[in-house]
Amino acid sequence: MTTHCEMEFAVFVPGIAGAEPLPALFYLSGLTCTWANVADKAGAQRFAAEHGLILVMPDTSPRGLQLPGEDDDWDFGTGAGFYVNATEAPWNENYNMFDYVTEELPALVAGELGVDGARIGVTGHSMGGHGALICALKRPDVFKSCSAFAPIAAPSRCPWGTKAFTGYLGADKTEWAKWDACELVGLSHFEGSVLVDQGQADNFLVRELRPELLQEAFTHAGKSLVLRMQPGYDHSYYFIATFMGDHVEHHSKQLQR
């Protein structure tokens, strides 16, 4: 039996909210982050208000479960749920971030906050960019638009992903493929164009992020990916804030269709 834990998330509702349901944009944060990082630093609220979007900003993992090793590393356990459904004990009881983001949270915000359940998009940064990609590719029935900032594009082939997938999913790499955007895109029914921004001065670009593999996978699958390599930008929220307006506009256009 799966036990349950409380999860925090933040919401921004634009001033035009009324009787009619509004589209929503989910933002999935990266390693070590909480919902507060994007709420405080990205400047997304202004753009969401302009486009009439509700922002939904979940946390990055369960917290305070007192699991062995939960807080030993910054890139595994607390703050590092990787948006997968864990299959390895003891993580499998509570580390089911994929189900939380794709099922529980959409139902909650539709029922309680006036979100139009047929018009939800997803974006995110780094680990959250990976999360946004797999959520859209695996559940196009839930998410109708997708973008990402500096996503971990091929987690099966980078140290961050290898560590997380081994811990949460075990050593069988066929299980890893179920949570890797580069492996999923050829099987996905997601039909929208995906926008990805990546800073060329990102310290993690070559070792961890590998956007070229994502481009190859989308091209091979015949799917639309707009990959923009941004000169001079690193992995920080200055980068995210600079291009947040473009991403919110991307989702607004996709969700109006």
Active site residue 235: yes
Instruction: Give whole-number Cα distances, 51 to 21, 39, 230, in Å.
Output: 14, 17, 24
Rounded to 5°, the CA angle 53-58-60 comes to 145
Compute the distance between CA of residue 247 and CA of residue 1 in angstroms, rounded to an integer.
Answer: 39
Task: Identify the active-site residue in 59, 180, 197, 202.
Answer: 202
Query: Which residues are registered as beta bridge partners of 124?
Result: 28
Of 125, 235, 250, 251, catalytic: 235
For residue 25, count other CB atoms closer than 10 A to its CB: 29
Point out the catalytic residue in the list 126, 145, 147, 252.
126
Say which DSSP state 196 is in. E
10 Cα distance to chain centroid: 15
Instruction: Report the half-sphere exposure of 7 (CA within 13 A, side-chain side).
Output: 23
Q: Which two tokens stand for residue 202?
A: 């990102």
Residue 251 among the catalytic residues:
no
Spatial neighbors of 136 by CB under 8 A, at least 6 apart, are 122, 143, 145, 146, 188, 190, 192, 194
- First CA to last CA across the chain, in angstroms? 41
Q: Which residues are catalytic?
A: 126, 202, 235
